[in-house]
């Protein structure tokens, strides 16, 4: 999986807005901890008093959940994953601010959520509020205590946008313990709070909202794709660069369904020799490897890889994986070798796709559901002998991404991760493309659909079919 969401555990709006029709009494004791939205605003001279009224949002997440997911191997290591704070615009009938920036800052003090719900007149009192962080302590500075050295800025144009900002530095410091996790404050940036302009109410859905996909989250995104070229191995060719001639193949050490390290290797080097026969035969050396055999290495628990090129006309070769003594062979694999050919036209390949193991229903408890994609060239024309004697070959597509749609509304609940995070790029091995998906990302009781988009060169081509399924409890 390459997406993980962590939901807010508490949130609140704190404000120093004037009480109704008063220019002297402020609602600094108000609390909206159980409201279904949170707010940010700046009002100036609203009651002809030439004074400023502000609202700020407080929100907190349980970073221990992030620690646990990483320890369980379900989250990439530090430096290999991006964490995004996601807040979703809550529409309302009043004026929204335009052309403004919000600051996201770590809060430096523990605070209480409170039980207030009045987000219009701020008549519910409680703690936290503009003055007090908790029943035990006031803010050092009214309006909240923040660590400005970690500022992250989000810019808005129309005022109806969602907020999505990279807060990886903050999250990783929570995780490694160098920054206490008291949550985040969201407020207008710099002069937007101090100038004489009005920035009316910007609302986001709070954790109490009834809309599952609008709840505030920290979303982890990373590239978890594995490109095992055992099923798409090409012999060296002068038509390719040295780097393009390299093929990467993998070894997976499974016992009773679980991946585990080879005891004599653990996270060390592993060595690969190539032969032209499954037993015995002639050894084939890699062109670019100075010290043959090929030196491979540890990828993750129970998974090892090796990269090499191979100048051969053989249609099949055999890879044998050894320890450092080259006497213990852990595994002998089979590699079908393709030859590079030059086409007489510039047509892009077209594919027929199918999800071969898609179930009608999934449980939210399935955090690593493996989805297998079958692909073949659309213009595949088998002979009678091919049909009679072999299965249709599954083609591994180099760059194909998935997304997830909510069928009832048509909205994307997991978008194509084609950006810098590459978080929905699919893996492939000898059996074709696949990805692991965490069904707990989806709300139970709804119908969903997987869709796929293929990158060819600098262009993207979306496959039209939707592969539908439901998520149950």
Q: Distance of CA 58 to CAs 118, 122, 260, 362, Å?
A: 16, 16, 43, 35
Instruction: Say yes or no to pLDDT of 296 above 90.
Output: yes
Instruction: Say yes or no to pLDDT of 386 above 90.
Output: no
Which tokens hold the place of 374?
Answer: 């079958």
Average pLDDT, rounded, for the chain: 92
Distance CA 225, CA 88 (A): 28
What pairs with residue 427 in β-bridges? 434
Tell me whether residue 76 is exposed, middle or buried, using C-beta atoms within 10 angstroms of its C-beta: 0 to 12, 13 to 18, 19 or more. Answer: buried
Q: Is the separation of the CB atoms in 246 and 229 below 8 Å?
A: no
What's 33-77 look like in SS3? Answer: CCCCEEEEEEEECCCCCCCEEEEEEEEEECHHHHHHHHHCCCCCC
The model's pLDDT over 223-233, given as tens digits with 9 standing for 90+, comes to 999 999 999 99
Strand positions, DSSP E, 78-207: 82-87, 100-106, 132-134, 137-138, 152-156, 163-166, 184-188, 199-205
User: Structural domains in the chain?
Assistant: 3-221 (no CATH), 229-338 (2.60.40), 351-472 (2.60.40.10)
The model's pLDDT over 74-97, given as tens digits with 9 standing for 90+, comes to 899 999 999 999 999 999 999 999
Interior angle at CA 65, CA 61 and CA 69, nearest 5: 140
Q: Quote the pTM value.
A: 0.89
């Amino acid at each position: 999986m390459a997406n993980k969401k962590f939901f807010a555990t508490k949130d609140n709006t704190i404000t120093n807005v004037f009480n109704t029709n008063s220019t002297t009494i402020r609602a600094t004791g108000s609390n909206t901890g159980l409201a279904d939205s949170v707010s940010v605003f700046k009002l100036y001279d609203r009651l002809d008093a030439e004074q400023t009224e502000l609202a700020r949002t407080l929100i907190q997440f349980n970073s221990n959940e992030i620690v646990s997911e990483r320890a369980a191997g379900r989250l990439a290591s530090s430096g290999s994953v991006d964490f995004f704070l996601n807040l979703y615009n809550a529409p309302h009938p009043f004026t929204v601010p335009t052309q403004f920036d919000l600051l996201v800052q770590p809060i430096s003090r523990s605070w209480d959520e409170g039980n207030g719900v009045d987000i219009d007149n701020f008549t519910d009192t409680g703690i936290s509020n503009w003055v007090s962080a908790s029943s035990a302590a006031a803010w050092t500075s009214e309006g909240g205590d923040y660590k400005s050295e970690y500022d992250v800025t989000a810019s808005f144009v129309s005022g109806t946008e969602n907020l999505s900002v990279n807060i990886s530095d903050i999250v990783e410091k929570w995780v490694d313990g160098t920054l206490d996790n008291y949550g985040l404050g969201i407020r207008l940036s710099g002069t937007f709070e101090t100038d004489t302009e009005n920035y009316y109410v910007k609302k986001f859905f709070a954790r109490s909202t009834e809309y599952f996909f609008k709840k505030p989250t920290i979303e982890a995104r990373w590239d978890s794709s594995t490109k095992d070229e055992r099923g798409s191995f090409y012999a060296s060719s002068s038509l390719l660069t040295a780097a393009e001639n390299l093929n990467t193949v993998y070894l997976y050490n499974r016992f009773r369904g679980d991946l585990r390290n080879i005891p004599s290797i653990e996270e060390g080097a592993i060595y690969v020799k190539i032969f032209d026969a499954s037993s015995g035969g002639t050894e084939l050396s890699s062109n670019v490897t100075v010290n043959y055999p090929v030196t491979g290495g540890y990828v993750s628990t129970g998974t090892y890889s090796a990269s090499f090129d191979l100048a051969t006309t053989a249609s099949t070769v055999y890879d044998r994986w050894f320890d450092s003594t080259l006497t213990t062979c852990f595994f002998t694999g089979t590699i079908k070798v393709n030859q590079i050919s030059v086409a007489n036209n510039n047509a892009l390949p077209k594919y027929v796709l199918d999800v071969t193991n898609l179930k009608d229903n999934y449980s939210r408890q399935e955090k690593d559901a493996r989805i297998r994609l079958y692909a073949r060239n659309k213009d595949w024309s088998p002979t009678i002998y091919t049909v009679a004697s072999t299965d249709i070959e599954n083609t591994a597509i180099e760059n194909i991404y998935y997304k997830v749609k909510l069928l009832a509304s048509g909205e994307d609940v997991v978008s194509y991760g084609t950006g810098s995070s590459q978080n929905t790029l699919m893996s492939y091995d000898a059996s074709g493309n696949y990805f692991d998906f965490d069904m707990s990302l989806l709300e139970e009781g709804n119908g969903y659909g997987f869709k796929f988009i293929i990158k060819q060169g600098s262009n993207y081509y979306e496959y039209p079919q939707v592969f539908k399924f439901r998520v149950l409890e």
